């Protein structure tokens, strides 16, 4: 399984628009241009969302294939992770179909969205297929309770194997959400207390003005970082970042000190 990029940029997400920041990419062309700039700034991965003609988040295989083609042509050394984020709109079956139709190298899937109840045979078959296809699945976990449920799914052999990629989300997608570095502590405590010995390749995303501080804290504890306008628009000094590459440059400088 391919390792997670050390710094993955999430330039737009599912919710924000240019009303939040004029440099937030909405089209595939804008997303690729942002990815190129972020790669030059030090990011080695792209967490990609695509939007429809009206600018809304969409799980569209055709748009993702177009994005992946453009990325291979313009920045081939940058890993690309697609998302199955449901935003209250897409079912587990629709999320699975997207991954089947695209067959990406990397995909992020929220455990609570894909497995809202006890795992079905279809869900088990899906995760088995991703492993056979060599798709690196990053399990999105919004709380220590989510992480505990992830361990339960591992015990039930839903995901298969002992190597897993995780994303710890510090905070919530909510108005005025402000994450703090200590938000990582419950996740690390749950990992330390777990009875299962797994090889975890984990990263963090964080919201608001202390995004950089949270990501530096994660990296100092052995994790990786997802940074960008999906989660935070501000640099450490409280000023609005110029663009996504500005956020990447600040993080690279912070972890290089």
Structural tokens at position 68: 């992946």
Structural domains in the chain, CATH included, are: 7-256 (3.20.20.70)
Question: How many of the other CB atoms lie within 10 Å of CB of 105?
Answer: 16
What is d(CA 3, CA 147) in angstroms, rounded to the nearest whole number? 20
Question: How many of the other CB atoms lie within 10 Å of CB of 252?
Answer: 16
Tens-digit pLDDT profile for residues 88-113? 999 999 999 999 999 999 999 999 99
- Residue stretches of the chain with pLDDT short of 70: 1, 173-175
Supply the pLDDT for residue 173. 66
Supply the pLDDT for residue 60. 98
Residue holding tokens 């299962």?
196
Supply the pLDDT for residue 203. 98
Supply the pLDDT for residue 176. 74
Supply the pLDDT for residue 175. 67
What is d(CA 192, CA 209) in angstroms, rounded to the nearest whole number? 29
Instruction: Name the E strands within the chain.
Output: 7-9, 45-48, 50-51, 57-58, 79-83, 106-110, 136-141, 163-170, 199-206, 224-227
Tens-digit pLDDT profile for residues 206-242? 999 999 999 999 999 999 999 999 999 999 999 999 9
Tell me the longest C-alpha to C-alpha distance in the chain. 49
């Amino acid at each position: 399984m391919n390792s997670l990029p050390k710094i993955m940029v999430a330039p737009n997400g599912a919710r924000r628009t240019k009303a939040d920041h004029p440099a937030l990419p909405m089209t595939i062309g804008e997303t690729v241009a942002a990815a190129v700039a972020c790669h030059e700034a030090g990011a080695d991965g792209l967490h990609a969302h695509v939007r429809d003609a009206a600018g809304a988040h969409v799980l569209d295989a055709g748009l993702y294939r177009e994005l992946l083609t453009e990325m291979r042509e313009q920045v081939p050394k940058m890993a690309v992770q697609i998302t199955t984020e449901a935003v209250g709109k897409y079912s587990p079956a629709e999320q699975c179909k997207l991954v089947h139709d695209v067959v990406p190298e990397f995909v992020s899937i929220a455990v609570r969205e894909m497995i809202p109840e006890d795992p079905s045979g279809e869900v088990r078959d899906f995760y088995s297929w991703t492993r056979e296809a060599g798709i690196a699945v990053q399990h999105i976990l919004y709380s220590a309770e989510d992480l505990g449920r992830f361990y339960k799914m591992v015990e039930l052999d839903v995901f298969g194997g002992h190597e897993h990629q995780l994303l710890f989300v510090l905070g919530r997608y909510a108005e005025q959400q402000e994450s703090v570095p200590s938000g990582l502590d419950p996740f690390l405590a749950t990992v330390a207390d777990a009875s299962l010995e797994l090889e975890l390749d984990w990263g963090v995303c964080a919201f608001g003005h202390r995004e950089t501080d949270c990501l530096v804290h994660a990296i100092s504890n052995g994790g990786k970082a997802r940074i960008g306008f999906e989660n935070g628009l501000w640099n450490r000094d409280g000023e609005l970042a110029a663009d996504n590459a500005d956020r990447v440059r600040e993080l690279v400088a912070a972890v290089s000190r």
